[in-house]
Structure 1
Amino acid sequence: MKTGFDASKYIEEQSKYILERVNDKNSERLYLEFGGKLVHDKHAMRVLPGFDENAKIKLLQKMKEKAEIIICIFAGDITTSKTRQDFGITYDLEVLRLIDTFRKYDLAINSVVITRYEDQPAVNMFINKLNRRGIKTYRHLFTKGYPTDVDTIVSDEGYGANPYIEVTKPLVVVTGPGGGSGKLATCLSQLYHDYRRGMKVRYAKFETFPIWNLPLKHPVNVAYEAATADLKDVNMIDSFHLEAYGQKAVNYNRDLEVFPVVKRIIEKITGEEADYKSPTDMGVNRVGFSITDDDAVRRASEQELIRRYLIAQCDYKKGKIDEDSLLRSKLLMDDLNVKVEDRAVVKPARDYAEHKRSEDKRYENVVVMAIELPDGSIVTGRSSRRMVAAAAAVLNAIKKLCGLSDDIYLLSPMVLETIQRLKTDILQNEKSSLNLEEILSSLTISAATNPSAQIAVEKLLMLKGCKAHCTAILSDRDEQTLRDLGLDVTSDPEYLTNNLYFN
């Protein structure tokens, strides 16, 4: 993919801009709310080709002597097992993954805050798990009086009812696994307690999307709406910023709706007029200044719109989202006159599946996956009694990358038969077809005696970033393995069988 973003310039400019806020002589501490993904921001990497998915944590690493991190998670997201789509893991597991990642970058983790705490078994079990591993936890209840009764919010009954999170460093980063984690409420609660202790502190927000200095309907900003369709986020012109400065800036509805309340709360806490005249003023985001090729960014964002719609279709089929969220994704795609078929791997997968079905009735339930290789060529693979479509497509892709002809065997038939017998005769599985993980294990075993298989294993790294599409909903295991390989995969919203459990 053509690069359209300067990652090194971004890290340099962004860290400088944050430090300006941290070093403000009128403030002893900055609470910085991090919206979006602090690490492994794959959405940003897809819509801003050239963006380093770990850019934000790398810039924090440059400030690690001054920074500590608070992680927030909404209690309701624990009880509903809300999932992070990029990794296919629940939000509570994402918190654990974040802690491990922050430690790897030598960043100080202060604590985990359970926001809008409810006394439920799943929530208490999560708290116990953290406490017994040495992670401090805090429980914040729903803020009494929020959002209209500012006098109650800024009182011992409101923020005062929350325990104070003991912090020591001048930069406190407040993050979470996703939107609605309670980051803003945690920041404002800390402001209240610090001012009660006689400290002058400030609040700022680091939200990558929407990009405030790009047009409202720029594909990057529209792609953000698609990514948050389930939250009903809508991009809007920041009317407060326009009125204060005569300058157009883009923000989203939740920030605009809550700004007057946040402004009043800050003024009530500090006893002074707020520094900020708009939600945009609160932000420290400089990502828009590092775009180097607007056309490349537009094309990448249009692809993301298609990807989000295909994922929404499957999520609707699985019962994960409502119809409004699905329709919202479709409308956003239609607004930019983008079609599903504009994703290069969709039509070849569907066409090959249709061809096999029309050719022979035995292929009535055939599933096909297509993969777009780095040179733009497309390879396909179909399901068979030996293996699933994802496994066949990956094998065909690495064969082509090796320059091997299609009739060369990479896998030992004896190895495949042995694993299939293990699945059916010993493990009592319903199906003998090998999934992608099992095929990759067979490939590495075959590599010990087959030089072609050894070369093919090494080519798996070249699949990272490639697009793939399957004509049926993938199993959780195949989807996770494809993610681990780094493929950007989508599916048609069709189940292979009518089975509800053995699907």
Structure 2
Amino acid sequence: MRKIGFDSNKYIEEQSKYILERVNNYDKLYLEFGGKLIGDKHAKRVLPGFDEDSKIKILQKLKDKAEILICVYAGDIERNKIRGDYGITYDMDILKSIDEFNEYGLAVNSVLITRYTGQPATKIFINKLEKRGIKVYTHEAIEGYPYNIDQIVSEEGFGRNCYIPTIKPIVVVTAPGAGSGKLATSLSQIYHESLQGTISGYSKFETFPVWNVPLKHPLNIAYEAATVDLKDVNMIDSFHYEAYGEVAVNYNRDLETFPVIKRIIERITGKPSVFKSPTDMGVNRVGFGIVDDEVICQASKDEIIRRCFETEVFYKRGLVDDEVVSRIHLIMEEMELKKEDRFSVVAARNYAEELKIRFDSTAPISAIAFELPDGKIVTGRLSDFMDASAAAILNAVKYLANISDDILLLSPVILETIQKMKVEELNSRAAALNTNEVLIALAMSAVTNPTAQLAYDQLRKLVDTQAHSTVILNKDDEQVLKKLGIDVTSDDIFSSENLFYI
């Protein structure tokens, strides 16, 4: 059973209250949301007990006062940028998010395309949104942003941006990822609101870094590991210390841009800014939800190790450069962590070595080890019938259901029939069934086989399982494991020399 270190209910109450206190100072508050609004897996991993949907639940409590504006950088759509947690492109993530916001009863105002210059793929996306009744606006890049304040706060800067009409006192500005233009959008709206005589303000809904835990706390270092490709570095907020004599943690980008943002807001409003530090700008009560610091520290260290594996795989796939890999290795050294501190890593590698000897193989061995929530290690390997992840899942649910290893959950005849269709009818070169295919077979078998039904019922117990693969998993298997709540890592070794069929 995973130990709890965070009180999510307390956090939701604290954060909701703090937002309402902030909005009371304005006619309208533009609230920039950093990180993921729905399904914040990173926060859930480093803060055991954190509700991954707590942000959206906070907004749901405020839904009568809030509407949502989604930003996306046109360049990210054009190059099909992928959200690693879901394995989908930014444009698809926006469609997914709109559906989810509607399910929560939250009003989506519109989608804003930032730094738009008529990019072809973005035009198609705009057309797709408009055909479904979604309002779409576009902003061009502002020359000199964010440092040329005279240019920015003028008719040739924010004045060239269209104003997006809003009706509720809280406008949540969110995006699929960093660099989407949330801050510029918020400031542009405040500029236009000011011209109309509306008193509006800006705040940032923060989660990480956590301002009121130490700079080198594993929780804050885990944030650096998660954003290693963005080169984010946690720092002491010197502005906050100078103003209040209180130590607070923020990160380099916010500290660098704070004086400029402050001056832009002052230029727009014609009044001294109420913010004396970037920490002031944030609305962050995460630190007050921590109930067991030791649990948080261990969970954060585990996350740093996972991020190290992830970064190395990204490097092998050509998605990051060697500087990013060097940075994650420095973080590992700083925290005195080793990859082998992850128990599933040692188990998977040892199992792979056993298989190499058994099959007298020099090729990469595809093996995976699960560390179940009760500490039990279960393994799986690639076979003629199925891949390693699928085999490990079947072995895991058999253990959880107390089913003997000798009992077959899936008939070989069924597996052979599916394989035949896959290869002969669907022309697949990968004969072994993947995780998704095996899970469908298990679900179908459960209809007529009580033992398969018993095993199928254990799938939900795989949440918080730690897993490691000795080869890079294909994206389909990786996504299925994540959907089951399994935290999986991989060694940076390709399973074969094939460039596509892996």
Judge conservation of contact 1:144–1:157 (CA < 8 Å) in 2: no
1:145 touches 1:158 (CA, 8 Å); kept in 2?
no
- Deviation of the 1:425 alpha carbon: 2.1
Q: CA deviation at 1:340?
A: 0.7
Paired residues for 1:42-191 under 5 Å: 42-191=41-190
| Distance (Å, rounded) in 1 between the aligned partners of 2:352 and 2:301 | 26
SS in 1 for 2:69: strand
1:244 maps to what in 2? 243
Q: Any idea what SS the aligned residue of 1:125 has?
A: helix
The one-character-per-residue Cα deviations of 1:366-386 (angstroms, maximum 9, x if unpaired) are 311111112111100111111
Cα displacement string for residues 314-372 of structure 1 (whole angstroms, at most 9, x for unaligned residues): 11111111111121111111111011111111110011001110232258443111111
Give how far 1:209 is off.
Answer: 0.3
Letter in 1 for 2:18: Y
Deviation at 1:41, TM superposition (A): 0.6
The answer to whether the Cα contact below 8 Å between 1:473 and 1:493 also exists between their aligned partners in 2 is: yes
Deviation string 1:171-202 (CA, Å, 9 cap, x unpaired) is: 11111111111100000000100001111111
Kindly provide the CA deviation profile for residues 374-405 of structure 1, in whole angstroms up to 9, marking residues without a partner as x. 21111001111111000110000001001111
Alignment: residue pair count: 501
Q: Which residue of 1 aligns with 2:211?
A: 212
**1:14–1:286 contact (8 Å) kept in structure 2:** yes
The runs of at least 4 aligned residues of structure 1 exceeding 3 Å deviation read 362-365
- Over the residues paired in the alignment, what is the CA RMSD in angstroms? 1.1
Write the letter of the residue equivalent to 1:153: I
Indicate the residue corresponding to 1:2 in structure 2. Answer: 3
- Structure 1 residues 220-229 or 477-486, which shifts more? 477-486
- Could you tell me whether the CA contact under 8 Å between 2:43 and 2:50 is conserved in 1? yes
Q: Please, which moves more after superposition, 479-488 or 169-178?
A: 479-488
TM-fit CA distance, 1:482: 1.2
Secondary structure of 1:266's match? helix
Which residue is equivalent to 1:423?
Answer: 422
CA–CA separation in structure 2 for the residues paired with 1:128 and 1:393: 44
1:368 — aligned with what? 367
| SS at structure 1 position matched to 2:97 | helix
Equivalent residue runs for 1:199-278 within 5 Å: 199-278=198-277
Q: Which residue of 1 aligns with 2:285?
A: 286
Of 46-55 and 447-456, more deviation after overlay is shown by 447-456
More moved, 372-381 vs 477-486: 477-486
SS at match of 1:325: helix
Residue 192, structure 1, aligned to residue 181, structure 2: no
The equivalent of 2:19 in structure 1 is: 18
Give 1:306's aligned residue: 305
Q: Secondary structure at the match of 2:370?
A: strand
Q: 1:347 maps to which residue?
A: 346
1:204-228, CA deviations, whole angstroms, 9 ceiling, x for partnerless residues?
A: 1111100000111101101111111
**Percent of aligned pairs sharing the same letter:** 58
Alignment partners' CA distance in 2, 1:366 and 1:348: 14
Asked whether the equivalents of residues 28 and 201 of structure 2 are also in contact (C-alpha less than 8 Å), the reply is yes
Q: Give the deviation of 1:457 after TM superposition.
A: 0.6
What is aligned with 1:322?
321
Corresponding residue SS for 2:179: coil
Opposite residue 88 of structure 1, the aligned amino acid is G
Residues 372 and 464 in structure 2, CA contact (< 8 A), matched pair in contact too: no
Please say which of residues 438-447 and 260-269 is displaced more in the overlay: 438-447
In structure 2, the partner of 1:480 is: 479
Work out the CA distance in 2 between the residues paired with 1:229 and 1:91.
Answer: 20
For 1:345, what is the secondary structure of its paired residue? helix
Residues 254-310 of structure 1: per-residue CA shift (max 9 Å, x gap): 100100100110010011111111101111111101100000000000000011110
What is the letter of the counterpart of residue 219 of structure 2? V
SS for the counterpart of 2:70 is strand
Give the distance between the partners of 1:10 and 1:484, measured in 2 at CA: 25
Q: Greater shift after overlay, 157-166 or 114-123?
A: 114-123
Q: Find the aligned partners of 1:62 and 1:352 in 2 and give their Cα distance.
A: 49
TM-score by length of 1: 0.98
Structure 2: distance between partners of 1:174 and 1:464: 31
Per the alignment, in what secondary structure is the counterpart of residue 399 of structure 2? helix
Find the counterpart in structure 2 of residue 465 from structure 1.
Answer: 464
> Bigger shift: 293-302 or 124-133?
124-133
Bigger drift between 360-369 and 385-394 goes to 360-369
State the alpha-carbon separation in 2 of the partners of residues 81 and 227 from structure 1.
Answer: 21
- Amino acid paired to 1:321: V
Question: Partners in 2 of 1:73 and 1:134 — Cα distance?
Answer: 18
- Greater shift, 467-476 or 76-85, is seen at 76-85
TM-aligned CA deviation for residue 493 of structure 1: 0.8
Of stretches 80-89 and 247-256 in structure 1, the one that deviates more from structure 2 is 80-89
Distance 1:350 1:473 in 2: 13
| Alpha-carbon distance in structure 2 between the residues aligned to 1:409 and 1:325 | 45
Q: Is the 8 A contact 1:95 1:177 kept in 2?
A: yes
Amino acid at match of 1:497: S
Matched-pair contact (CA < 8 Å) for 2:129–2:136: yes
- In 2, the alpha carbon distance for the partners of 1:442 and 1:146 equals 55
